[in-house]
């Protein structure tokens, strides 16, 4: 996916006076939220999960592996993993050392292998190898918290059970003044309150794409970002 066209301002200099949203920026006005959503639609109309997968089971495994790891790295590991263990039953029978070696490069590989094995066994034993379609049931699986469950429900099944909150969304939601919270559960609640439910799934994908392409953690590209006029934390003209 090519980056959206830049809007350079070569004659301008930008500085940031604070990393926190300005006073009065919370709660965000509905008109500002609508403007942000409209701009995200223009920039990323086809945003989707960037983890490669063919079915809900593969998406579940890939999302578990994505913890503290880039999607790019996960996508390098999963083809061989899914070729060797294509079903929950096959994965449940995998020798732990073999599995650990296959996913080693994703980091925290021992804990991830344990979670993958536990999830595969529970899927096989309790849900006949099918990935469940409810938040409560998904949260029973090892290695699955609300973020992973929201990814699976939204991306695999189109079920808007909540808003995915990963590191990108945590960063951007704060910078855009969409929340003042820092805990994922509270950030999610704030976003659920101000974003229309029918937008929860797409909005999360769009914000993640924007965080990967423009609003980087260390050096946000405010000089080319169309959201700057509605971002309380943006670099401003000096």
Active site residues: 147, 166
Instruction: Kindly write down the DSSP assignment for every residue of the chain, as one continuous string.
Output: -PPPPP---TT--EE-S-SSPPTT-SSPPHHHHHHHHHHHHHH-TT----S--SSHHHHHHHHHHTTTS-HHHHHHHHHHHHHH--SHHHHHTS-HHHHHHHHGGGSSHHHHHHHHHHHHHHHHHHSTTPPPSSHHHHTTSTT--HHHHHHIIIIIH---SS----HHHHHHHHHTTS----SHHHHHHHHHHHS-GGGHHHHHHHHHHHHHHTS-SSS--GGG-TTGGG-TTS-EE-
């Amino acid at each position: 996916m090519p980056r959206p066209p830049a809007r350079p301002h070569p004659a301008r200099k930008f500085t940031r006076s604070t990393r926190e949203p300005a006073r009065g920026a919370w709660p965000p006005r509905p008109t500002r939220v609508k403007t942000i959503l409209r701009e995200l639609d223009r920039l990323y109309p086809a945003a989707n999960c960037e983890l490669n997968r063919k079915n809900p089971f593969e998406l579940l495994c890939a999302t578990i592996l994505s913890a503290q790891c880039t999607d790019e790295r996960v996508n390098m590991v999963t083809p061989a993993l899914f070729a060797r263990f294509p079903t929950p039953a096959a994965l449940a029978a995998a020798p732990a050392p073999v599995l650990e070696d296959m996913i080693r490069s994703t980091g925290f590989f021992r804990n991830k292998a344990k979670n993958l094995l536990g999830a595969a066994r529970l899927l096989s034993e309790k849900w006949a190898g099918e990935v469940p379609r409810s938040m409560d049931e998904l949260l029973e699986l090892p290695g699955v918290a609300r973020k992973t469950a929201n990814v699976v429900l939204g991306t695999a099944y189109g079920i808007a059970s909540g808003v995915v909150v990963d590191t990108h969304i945590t960063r951007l939601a704060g910078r855009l003044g969409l929340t003042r919270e820092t805990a994922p559960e509270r950030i999610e609640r704030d976003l659920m309150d101000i974003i229309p439910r029918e937008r929860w799934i797409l909005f999360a994908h769009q914000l993640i794409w924007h965080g990967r392409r423009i609003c980087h953690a260390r050096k946000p590209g405010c000089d080319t970002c169309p959201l700057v006029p509605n971002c309380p934390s943006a670099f401003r003209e000096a």
